[in-house]
Amino acid sequence: MTENTMPAAEVNTGAHEQELVAYELAYHILPTVAEGEVTAVTEGLKALITTAGGKITDEEAAERFELAYEIDKYLEGRYRKFTSAYFGWVRFALTPAALTALTETVGDHKQLLRFLLVRLTKVEEANPFRFHDALEKPVVRNIDLDEVAVEGEVADVDGLETVDAVVVEEEVKA
């Protein structure tokens, strides 16, 4: 390599720092927070994002639900166990340079049980998963093997039409 040429990777290094990148902040709010104050906590998280220079693109309001397992959190001088929480998420665009400061600020938020901050792919960004809607409308159904009518077909289960068994397996995998 000559002194006048620079590898493409080095040339593009500074350009990516100024571009906005899509992120999702998923969070559990402590169940000890009053139901009427949950929206205020969510608005506070969104304010932290916009203060850091982020632009809110989508969100799912926090709703209370039962956790899959107990979560311990150190509060007021002792560990407490929680079996439920308010869950919600916020999607936003932010420069990668501002992400560390935002993560530290959200981590200091006293009313959060847990949070997860992830970078979104283009496919994830275009297809948000609505957690609370998914709980209300299950896609997967259980099929009793005793109800198989003909090999390769599954009989009408729960008022659903007769479907090909291979199709049912593909739907479950997707």
Domain locations in the chain as residue ranges: 18-136, 138-174
Backbone angles phi and psi of 145, in degrees to 5: -65, -20
- CA separation, residue 28 to residues 41, 51, 117, 152 (Å): 11, 21, 12, 44
CATH topology of domain 18-136: Alpha-Beta Plaits (3.30.70)
Q: Given a cut of 50, is residue 115 above it in pLDDT? A: yes
At position 103, the amino acid (one-letter code) is T
pTM of full prediction above 0.75: no
Please tell me the distance from the alpha carbon of residue 90 to that of residue 27, in angstroms, as a whole number. Answer: 9
- pLDDT tens track for 53-110: 999 999 989 999 899 999 999 988 999 999 999 999 999 999 999 999 999 999 988 9
Q: What angle do CA 106, 45, 24 make, to 5 degrees?
A: 80
Return all residues near 113 (Cβ < 8 A) that are at least 6 apart. 28, 29, 30, 31, 71, 73, 82, 85
Residues of the chain above pLDDT 70, percent: 68
How confident is residue 149, by pLDDT bands cut at 50, 70 and 90? low
- pLDDT tens track for 17-42: 578 999 999 999 999 999 999 999 99
